[in-house]
Amino acid sequence: MNDYISTRDAHQSVSSKQAILNGMSPDGGLYVLPTLDQIHLDLSLICTMSYKENAVYILSHLLTDYTKEELEACVENAYANSFSKQEITPIKKVDDVYVLELFHGPTCAFKDVALTLLPQLMSCALKSTSQKALILTATSGDTGKAALSGFCDVENIGINVFYPYKKVSAIQYRQMVTQKGKNVNVFGIQGNFDDAQSQVKRLFLDEELNEYCAKQNILLTSANSINVGRLVPQIVYYFDSYKQLVLQGDIQLGDKVSFSVPTGNFGDVLAGYYAYLMGLPVEKFYVASNANCVLTDFLTTGIYDRNRDFIQTISPSMDILISSNLERLLYYASNKDTQKVSKWMEELNEKGRYQIDDETFKTIQNLFACGSVDDENTSLEIKSVYDKTCYVLDPHSAIAYKTAKECKDRPIVSLATASPYKFSQDVLKALGYDEENEWKAMETLSKYCQDAIPSQLKELQDLDILHNKVIDVASMKDVVCQSTKEVFHD
């Protein structure tokens, strides 16, 4: 059985089920699989199987204490009726770039691919214990709703979501605050995503809070991509996109493909890197950032420095200055040196910056390139792509697409991480049409997209606001304690 260890201490070893239940390691590190680069998947077999079959095949190599029957049940429950497209994540050619559409799930964002499956994996893991789980999740916009939707009324699991108040789109806000469910709580926080995420991490390590929860047999865990159960399902769509290109005759089996990924927390592109380590033929990963270009600077200089102004953009899910999943890349790129990683993370915590060694930096630069796109150029790209192809990109996907167009690699797959309807007003404005009302904006945008507004977004207009609490960061611990009583002791 392959065990997961902490990025900061190889002696912190747990099974995959326990890693999913824990969320993050007690030492503050993230769980990684040391043998990941020894797994070699059969590409020819992958090209013969469905998305769900590939999910079982791929995850069976990563979550080794789940039986095949357990994984099959988890995958079937997650994907049977949740996605509007049979392919789950279809690929389309837009000019000379292949666009991987990841937004056909219940909340119209790429997070659905993992957050329909994580509740199944977590519930399965809980069955072997007598514990209950309380999920604490910080969100920059999309994770919150996808997690709320996935975990709504799941037995023995509660969820608290913290989002940056007035720093998400109007539709993202409505998606979260109208969420029904006896086990869900949603809080706006006075601050940005990094403030929320940093405090959630501190709460996971808070001895007093953990002792309080332990007395009630409650385990604190996460639905962010710091949880390996949120991360590994995303590996599947990288392999599946490759399969689609092979079956369409666009590439031959074994050909290398590049990927352009819009990212803030580094989770989505890290899943691609995991696929690469497991045998996916990749030429280059392009890390596409918005004006909060901390990753662009890191990939250019080898220095990670979050000591900079936070910029609120029209691509709010990428408004992040602390990219948590980068820690996992550092682990593998440094030849699995947990002492180095621990030192860098300590420097980040104390000084807000760190510089990696030349050898690790060279390893990363051999596979990763980068680009950053500000709001003005994001809007121009949305307009340009529509004028040329009649295809509508959301502000996050447009950043990846522009980065893909500017690189020389072909074939290249650009990840489309959200439906344009989630950002209707900003997309419309890019297309030259101002509309202050978000519902009218969606109606107008449907004429450009030439399809129906997703029903799960259209119905938001008529739903009641159920969660209207806005708190400061210091109050997050108190509301977590209160929620244990509300969720588990009503």
Share of the chain above pLDDT 90, in %: 96
3-state secondary structure of 189: strand
Task: Indicate whether 127 pLDDT > 80.
Answer: yes
- What's the distance, Cα to Cα, between the start and end of the chain in Å? 39
The dihedrals phi and psi of 70, each to the nearest 5 degrees, come to: -65, -45
Q: What is the pLDDT of residues 283-333, one digit of tens each?
A: 999 999 999 999 999 999 999 999 999 999 999 999 999 999 999 999 999
Q: What is the pLDDT of residue 490?
A: 53
pTM listed for this prediction: 0.95
Q: What is the pLDDT of residue 12?
A: 84
What is the Cα–Cα distance from 280 to 166, expressed in whole angstroms? 40
Catalytic residue among 17, 111, 132, 340: 111
What is the Cα–Cα distance from 45 to 174, expressed in whole angstroms? 42
Residue 367 gets the label, from left (phi > 0), alpha (psi -120 to 50) or beta, of alpha
Angle, vertex CA 363, rays to CA 402 and CA 358, nearest 5: 110
Share of the chain above pLDDT 70, in %: 99
Would you tell me how many other CB atoms lie within 10 Å of the CB of residue 366?
Answer: 10
Structure tokens at 316: 């709010």
Q: What is the pLDDT of residue 3?
A: 92
| Catalytic-residue membership of 111 | yes
Q: What is the pLDDT of residues 84-110, one digit of tens each?
A: 999 999 999 999 999 999 999 999 999
Going by pLDDT thresholds of 50, 70 and 90, the confidence category of residue 128 is: confident
**Burial per residue of 388-406, b for 16 or more beta-carbon CB atoms within 10 angstroms, e otherwise:** eeebbbbbbbbbbbbbbbe
Domains, the chain, ordered by start: 91-108+231-454 (3.40.50.1100)
Mean pLDDT of the chain: 96
Would you tell me how many other CB atoms lie within 10 Å of the CB of residue 21?
Answer: 22
For residues 123 and 150, the answer to whether their CB atoms sit within 8 Å is no
For residues 157 and 182, the answer to whether their CB atoms sit within 8 Å is no
Structure tokens at 25: 């390691």
Structure tokens at 355: 């510089």
* Residues 166-174, mean pLDDT to the nearest whole number: 94
Q: What is the pLDDT of residue 141?
A: 83
Q: What is the pLDDT of residue 1?
A: 55
Instruction: From 179, 195, 183, select the one nearest 134 (Cα to Cα).
Output: 183
Going by pLDDT thresholds of 50, 70 and 90, the confidence category of residue 142 is: confident
Q: In what order do the strands lie in the sheet with 91-94?
A: 91-94, 97-101, 412-416, 257-262, 282-289, 368-372
